[in-house]
Chains A and B, each alone.
Chain A
Amino acid sequence: MSAPELSGLGSLRYLWRQLTSMRTALILLLLLGIAAIPGSLLPQRTQNPMKVREYFTNDPTLAQWLDRFKFFDVYGSPWFSAIYLLLFISLIGCVLPRSWEHAKAIRAKPVLTPKNLDRMDFYRTIDTTSALDSAEAWLKKNRFRIQRNADSISAEKGYSRETGNVLFHLSLIVILIGIALSSSLGMNGSAIVNVGERFINTPTSYDNLTTGRFFSSESLQHFTITADKFVAQYNPITNAPEDYTLSTTISKSVGGSSEKKVLKVNSPLTFGSTRVYLQANGYSPIVTVTDQSGTVVFQGPVPFLPQDANLTSTGAIKVPDAQPQIGFIGSFVPTIDRSSSRGAFSAFPEALDPRLLVSVWEGDLQMDSGIPQSVYRLDTNKMARIGLKEMKLNETYSYGVGTITFNGFTPWVNLQIVRDPGKQYALIGSILAILGLLTSLFTRQRRIWVKVGKKVEIAGLAKNAIDGLESELNDLTDWIERFNEKEIEQERRRK
């Protein structure tokens, strides 16, 4: 076959035909699988930005090259998108004409009886000359679609196989639409909330917030959540967590009527199309800091980030109002233990014997420099260390230019707030996809022909490889033979 002349409309049509061919679809499908692999082997920004940063420090040149080709954002990269978009175009180009064909086929009569029936998979003959009436009765009884001609019957059953097939592929498109809606109209954010505090759903309450291209922050659902009480249960032998329960008071608007709700890991709170998930937890030590004159310059809980499974947590306390500015690098240990190699560490995630370890720094916190700072880290470039202390509950440490008191602690929870307007479509698409798949894989589609000549010919063609046609044809043969015997019997009696 020579390639057609590539000009204008003709070449477009040629490209379209290539793209929608089965071979191209297969190649794209396998390519999609291969393209997904690097994302599972290399750290991804969307899941683990820390690991990506680590990669950059360990091997900067390689990391830069990988980054140039979007290997740290595989699933949002142009090449990954190109593959799945081409695949879906190919799918649409394939499935729409097929749906149309199928709709016509459902209304049409079965195909004409072919000349040489003995070429079919199943073929047999009966030594008789009348069979069409009885065969038609049997085929009708078994709900075949029938076309009767002068000397033959053509019958077909199992059209739902193709219906299922078309349904499956159409529902994949529904899933894609759902995903597109989610990423363009959705939002995803998280916020750390100390137990005892209230979260108000406004953009400024979030620690981080990513929104879809067409999401406007005015469309944030109005609600508030007050974290009343948080209980974490741990296994005393393995130290593994067994249950997290957050008791909350929620309200649909600030100052509106409130109700009590419980939030757990597998049961999020729902506000319209927004859901709130309990994702992580840790401790916030509560401290009071005074200056030389004894005036309180800072008081309250400060969230620390867990570093291990036993919730040894680290963080920073910044006191810009003190003169000079004071900062603390802290470590909160819920249940103290010691070893020569690790120093103080936590032996259990519950706060059974808590300690607060601080190093005190004096100087310039550089909070006005305009460069965004992490609240969990202290920039000690322009500071000097003036003290070091391990504190028990209610202990006060005096470091010359002021004091710090370890008043207590409160748990914090990390709330993840998600609006995903496309997920219903994805779910409906998935359910339809499974139904379509089951129908198309388990429906037998077959044709049966009965032809009368010098003898009766019966033939069958199975359009997919599921057993059952042979025994069906046996039934039909028996039926015709019994029918003929009855006729002969009646004939004889009449004589």
Chain B
Amino acid sequence: MSSSQLAYLSNNLVYSSLFVFTLSFFLFAIETAWSVRADRENGVFDRARTEKFARIAIALMTLAFLLLFGGVLARALSAHRVPWGNMYEFSITGALAFTGAYLVALRKYNLRWLGLPISIAVLLVLGTAITLLYRPSAPLVPALKSTWLVVHVSAAIISGGVFLLANTIAATYLIIERMESRGGRNAWAKRLPTLETLDQLSYRLVAFVFPLWTFAIIAGAIWAESAWGRYWGWDPKETWAFITWVAYAAYLHARVTAGWKGKKAAWLCLLAGSTFLFNYVYVNVWGTGRHTYSGL
């Protein structure tokens, strides 16, 4: 197949996966609603049906994942390079990694309750990618032609995915904590793990991925040294990567050395995560500096 045929195939696969993700989102929504109802009308409402819907929703999400994988692969083949040369590709690859991480985690932990928020997040990312960020498949500009592209950007994508997951969990912690202090969890929240588990989980995710984020920054610095003649230049993207690093470093210190837990820690985690999101959106869309390539 030629490059343009592959690019065309990639677009079709990404569209199809968006469609299947939408179906899976609806089923997750129904499943959530029914299981809330099943809890309320204990014994009256049929639980087996909920179970069946959940299984279909997960099967559909797996199918959407495979379609998206095909889409990302075809994109990479059409451009003869790794599929993260611009923000559109970064987004579809990020969505793929995010879904993949969830599906793998699902085999080990009981994380079905996360299905609905995850499918919403993926739909938002893919939707924005297709409508706002789309760029035709093209080779890289000379500055991006380096092995460090593979190393630096993949480390950044993985770190970003895990930071966002930790953020989701910290936010969930805060919501549930508020519920509990106001008299107890509602029907939906009863399916969720204990506060302590959520608190621990978000910390562990951050502790796990902080070294990787450090590595992403250092790999970027090494690359910048060979492409731009300096390893650090306070480019907006670099500055915000540094701010994110500092914020998570503060979070880890607060937890490990100062013994912060629960609410305070969750807020700090959210703050750190939002600096990452800001970097992703602001610098790519409105920012200036050397990290803006190929339009976006």
A48 at the interface (CB under 8 A from B): yes
- The interface on chain B, measured as residues whose beta carbon lies within 8 A of the other chain's beta carbons, has a size of 53
Extra pairs beyond A242-B139, A279-B228 (6, CB < 8 Å): A22-B253, A39-B239, A75-B234, A243-B145, A420-B230, A434-B218
Question: What does DSSP make chain B's interface, helix, strand, loop or mixed?
Answer: helix
B143 at the interface (CB under 8 A from A): yes
B246 contacts A30, C-beta separation under 8 Å: yes
B235 at the interface (CB under 8 A from A): yes
> Known contacts A437-B214, A465-B200: does B254 contact A242 (CB below 8 Å)?
no
B250 contacts A266, C-beta separation under 8 Å: no
Query: How far apart sit A43 and B210, CA to CA, in the bound complex (Å)?
Result: 30
A47 contacts B138, C-beta separation under 8 Å: no
Which residues of A (39-77) have their CB < 8 Å from a CB of B? 39-40, 43-44, 46-48, 51, 74-75
Q: What's the least CB distance linking A459 to chain B, in Å?
A: 21
Contacts of A266 in B (CB 8 A): 142-143, 145-146, 223, 226-227
Query: How far apart sit A258 and B39, CA to CA, in the bound complex (Å)?
Result: 83
Q: Per-residue CB proximity of A248-285 to B under 8 Å, as 1/0?
A: 00000000000000001111100000010101000000
B229 contacts A47, C-beta separation under 8 Å: no
A298 at the interface (CB under 8 A from B): no
A265 contacts B234, C-beta separation under 8 Å: no
Query: How far apart sit A266 and B214, CA to CA, in the bound complex (Å)?
Result: 22
B186 at the interface (CB under 8 A from A): no
B222 at the interface (CB under 8 A from A): yes
> Known contacts A29-B253, A36-B243: does B138 contact A238 (CB below 8 Å)?
yes
Contact of B230 (CB < 8 Å), options: A37, A188, A437, A464: A188
A237 at the interface (CB under 8 A from B): yes
Contact of B227 (CB < 8 Å), options: A46, A74, A265: A265
A275 contacts B229, C-beta separation under 8 Å: yes
A418 at the interface (CB under 8 A from B): yes
Query: How far apart sit A277 and B230, CA to CA, in the bound complex (Å)?
Result: 10
Query: How far apart sit A142 and B62, CA to CA, in the bound complex (Å)?
Result: 43
Closest 9 CB pairs of A and B: A33-B246, A265-B142, A277-B229, A40-B239, A40-B236, A266-B146, A430-B218, A33-B243, A416-B229
B84 at the interface (CB under 8 A from A): no
Which residues of B (33-57) have their CB < 8 Å from a CB of A? none
Query: How far apart sit A188 and B231, CA to CA, in the bound complex (Å)?
Result: 13
Q: What's the least CB distance linking B57 to chain A, in Å?
A: 30
Q: What's the least CB distance linking A431 to chain B, in Å?
A: 8
B211 contacts A268, C-beta separation under 8 Å: no
Q: Which residue of A lies closest to B289 (CB)?
A: A47
Query: How far apart sit A268 and B228, CA to CA, in the bound complex (Å)?
Result: 9
Q: What's the least CB distance linking A241 to chain B, in Å?
A: 5
Which residues of A (200-237) have their CB < 8 Å from a CB of B? 235, 237
B234 contacts A240, C-beta separation under 8 Å: no
Contacts of A25 in B (CB 8 A): 253
A106 at the interface (CB under 8 A from B): no
Q: Per-residue CB proximity of B212-249 to A under 8 Å, as 1/0?
A: 00110010011101111111111110011011001101
Q: What's the least CB distance linking B218 to chain A, in Å?
A: 5
B214 contacts A433, C-beta separation under 8 Å: yes
A23 contacts B258, C-beta separation under 8 Å: yes
B246 contacts A242, C-beta separation under 8 Å: no
Contacts of A352 in B (CB 8 A): none
A157 at the interface (CB under 8 A from B): no
Which residues of A (89-122) have their CB < 8 Å from a CB of B? none
Q: What's the least CB distance linking A116 to chain B, in Å?
A: 22
Q: What's the least CB distance linking B211 to chain A, in Å?
A: 5
Q: What's the least CB distance linking B253 to chain A, in Å?
A: 6
B145 contacts A240, C-beta separation under 8 Å: no
B234 contacts A235, C-beta separation under 8 Å: no
A12 at the interface (CB under 8 A from B): no
Q: Which residue of B lies closest to A416 (CB)?
A: B229
B211 contacts A29, C-beta separation under 8 Å: no
Query: How far apart sit A43 and B142, CA to CA, in the bound complex (Å)?
Result: 26
Q: What's the least CB distance linking B278 to chain A, in Å?
A: 10
Contacts of A6 in B (CB 8 A): none
6 A-B residue pairs with CB within 8 Å: A29-B246, A265-B143, A277-B229, A423-B231, A434-B211, A437-B214
B231 contacts A426, C-beta separation under 8 Å: yes
B136 at the interface (CB under 8 A from A): yes
B247 contacts A33, C-beta separation under 8 Å: yes
B25 at the interface (CB under 8 A from A): no
Q: Per-residue CB proximity of B252-296 to A under 8 Å, as 1/0?
A: 011011100000000000000001000000010001110000100
A297 at the interface (CB under 8 A from B): no
A438 at the interface (CB under 8 A from B): yes
Q: Which residue of A lies closest to B242 (CB)?
A: A36
B121 at the interface (CB under 8 A from A): no
Which residues of A (13-29) have their CB < 8 Å from a CB of B? 22-23, 25-26, 29
Which residues of A (418-442) have their CB < 8 Å from a CB of B? 418, 420, 423, 426-427, 430-431, 433-434, 437-438, 441
Contacts of B246 in A (CB 8 A): 29-30, 32-33, 36
A240 contacts B294, C-beta separation under 8 Å: yes
B106 at the interface (CB under 8 A from A): no
A418 contacts B138, C-beta separation under 8 Å: no
A47 contacts B234, C-beta separation under 8 Å: yes
Q: What's the least CB distance linking B203 to chain A, in Å?
A: 7
Query: How far apart sit A438 and B208, CA to CA, in the bound complex (Å)?
Result: 9
Contact of B142 (CB < 8 Å), options: A30, A40, A264, A416: A264
Q: What's the least CB distance linking B86 to chain A, in Å?
A: 11
Contacts of A242 in B (CB 8 A): 139-142
Query: How far apart sit A74 and B146, CA to CA, in the bound complex (Å)?
Result: 31
A138 at the interface (CB under 8 A from B): no
B179 at the interface (CB under 8 A from A): no
Query: How far apart sit A210 and B222, CA to CA, in the bound complex (Å)?
Result: 22
Which residues of B (142-185) have their CB < 8 Å from a CB of A? 142-143, 145-146
A29 contacts B249, C-beta separation under 8 Å: yes
B207 contacts A240, C-beta separation under 8 Å: no
Contacts of A265 in B (CB 8 A): 142-143, 145, 227
Q: What's the least CB distance linking A187 to chain B, in Å?
A: 12
A22 contacts B211, C-beta separation under 8 Å: no
Query: How far apart sit A292 and B39, CA to CA, in the bound complex (Å)?
Result: 99
Contacts of B136 in A (CB 8 A): 237-238
Q: What's the least CB distance linking A90 to chain B, in Å?
A: 12
B254 contacts A26, C-beta separation under 8 Å: yes
Q: Which residue of B lies closest to A417 (CB)?
A: B229
Q: What's the least CB distance linking A461 to chain B, in Å?
A: 15
A244 at the interface (CB under 8 A from B): yes
Contacts of B204 in A (CB 8 A): 465
